[in-house]
Chains A and B, each alone.
Chain A
């Protein structure tokens, strides 16, 4: 049975899972969850995802949530097809991959998510952004990207010479911050800009951006 992704097509982390499915040439079916109507907070949804968050997958009866966990599961289950080694298998390469995953989790995502919350999520709820907080988030993200610039000056991708999930994890919120919100953080950082251009030009991402 085809892999089912339960989520809304424009939800950033639904896109992330769809992106990894495409990289691994895994067909999927998107089962729409009406997040704008709060469907993800209903008991029927929470039966599968107790936190009330999209997405979750149903892989022939195996239910899994948390987008990064889903991406790892797909990358490992379909190791021999599509883009290879999205999760490297050699123990030291895997450790460096984990380091890169944690860099994204600790040094990128909290700031990119915070900026998105202040600028987009609050607006949807009719709230004003907290400007002091926003400015802190932007400055923090810039400082972290300065370090990315050093790392990406030495290697093509965040975990070394090959692309991994750690790079792809940046796509959904990076796209919102750098592209949709237009924060110019790439121009002064040529290595980050080169990396960003490369990962966002992947056919799988272009396809998902158009339609998850």
Chain B
């Protein structure tokens, strides 16, 4: 069985768990206590030199970086569960385009906002509201482009769900959950709102969103 070294509530650990659920791949979570800084222990860093969760141990094959793990599992089990990475070359290229859109036009702004608004207060640190304002201002035109794209097609890489859509869920859910102007970013754009409702209600996500 896949051993998932991570923290059940961590965003990136939940992304890997989500993909396991979509692919019907059983996994065992081995909890790394982030509050105690276990991810910075020498034994952890011997496997993951950046000291970040998660990593997997798949029968002795060690891999870190959640998006790399998600791709590995999607490709290792192409014929079970949801197909998440297209194999036709042009469809694959459009998946890669969508995947990069998520990384550079969504996550690059949404993740640091979640860090400022959720993670920092949890550690007793103060939110830099000025920075949040800046990040949000940068995010809005990107979300206009999303709304345009999702007005023409059902999902970010075409008419089928892919890993590129699912990768939005962990940070996107935390962002949406901030309420107020943050929720409005999604809700005020009809195509984006429709897409978000669709992906955030997938049974695989509902199964892991409160803990991998």
Please give the residue numbers on chain A whose beta carbons come within 8 Å of chain B beta carbons, in ascending order. 46, 50-52, 62, 64-69, 72-73, 76-77, 91-92, 94-96, 98-99, 101-103, 105-107, 110, 133, 144, 147, 150-151
Is the beta-carbon distance between A72 and B96 smaller than 8 angstroms?
A: yes
Contacts of B141 in A (CB 8 A): 51-52
Contacts of A65 in B (CB 8 A): 97
Contacts of A105 in B (CB 8 A): 67, 103
For chain B residues 151-167, which have a beta carbon within 8 Å of chain A? none
The smallest C-beta distance from B134 to any residue of chain A, in angstroms, reads 10
Contacts of A67 in B (CB 8 A): 100
The CA-CA distance from A103 to B48 in the complex, in Å, is 11
The smallest C-beta distance from B99 to any residue of chain A, in angstroms, reads 7
What 0/1 pattern do residues 95 to 108 of B give for CB contact below 8 A with A? Answer: 01101110111001
For chain B residues 89-133, which have a beta carbon within 8 Å of chain A? 89-90, 92-94, 96-97, 99-101, 103-105, 108, 131
The smallest C-beta distance from B163 to any residue of chain A, in angstroms, reads 11
The smallest C-beta distance from B113 to any residue of chain A, in angstroms, reads 14
Residue B64 at the A interface, CB < 8 A? yes
Is the beta-carbon distance between A50 and B68 smaller than 8 angstroms?
A: no
The CA-CA distance from A65 to B156 in the complex, in Å, is 13
The CA-CA distance from A54 to B108 in the complex, in Å, is 17
Closest to A97 in B: B68
For chain B residues 60-87, which have a beta carbon within 8 Å of chain A? 61, 63-69, 71-72, 75-76
Q: Which among A73, A94, A95 is the interface contact of B96 at CB below 8 angstroms?
A: A73
Is the beta-carbon distance between A147 and B67 smaller than 8 angstroms?
A: no
- Known contacts A50-B148, A51-B145: does B67 contact A69 (CB below 8 Å)? no
Closest to B142 in A: A51
Is the beta-carbon distance between A51 and B65 smaller than 8 angstroms?
A: no
Q: List 13 A-B contacts (CB under 8 A).
A: A50-B149, A51-B101, A51-B141, A62-B90, A64-B94, A64-B97, A69-B97, A72-B96, A92-B61, A95-B68, A95-B72, A98-B68, A101-B68
Is the beta-carbon distance between A150 and B49 smaller than 8 angstroms?
A: yes
Contacts of B65 in A (CB 8 A): 98-99, 102-103, 106
A-B contact count (CB 8 A): 79
Q: Which among A96, A98, A144 is the interface contact of B50 at CB below 8 angstroms?
A: A144
The CA-CA distance from A69 to B101 in the complex, in Å, is 10
The smallest C-beta distance from B184 to any residue of chain A, in angstroms, reads 21
The smallest C-beta distance from A126 to any residue of chain B, in angstroms, reads 17
The smallest C-beta distance from B194 to any residue of chain A, in angstroms, reads 17
Contacts of B142 in A (CB 8 A): 51
Is the beta-carbon distance between B93 and A69 smaller than 8 angstroms?
A: yes
Contacts of A51 in B (CB 8 A): 101, 105, 141-142, 145
- Known contacts A66-B101, A92-B61, A147-B49: does B96 contact A102 (CB below 8 Å)? no
Q: Which among A94, A102, A110 is the interface contact of B67 at CB below 8 angstroms?
A: A102
Contacts of A144 in B (CB 8 A): 50
Contacts of A99 in B (CB 8 A): 63-65, 68
What 0/1 pattern do residues 133 to 144 of B give for CB contact below 8 A with A? Answer: 000000001100
Closest to B64 in A: A99
Smallest CB-CB A-B distances: 4 pairs: A102-B65, A66-B100, A69-B96, A98-B68
Is the beta-carbon distance between A76 and B61 smaller than 8 angstroms?
A: no
Q: Which among B69, B75, B94 is the interface contact of A91 at CB below 8 angstroms?
A: B75
Contacts of A64 in B (CB 8 A): 93-94, 97
Closest to A110 in B: B108
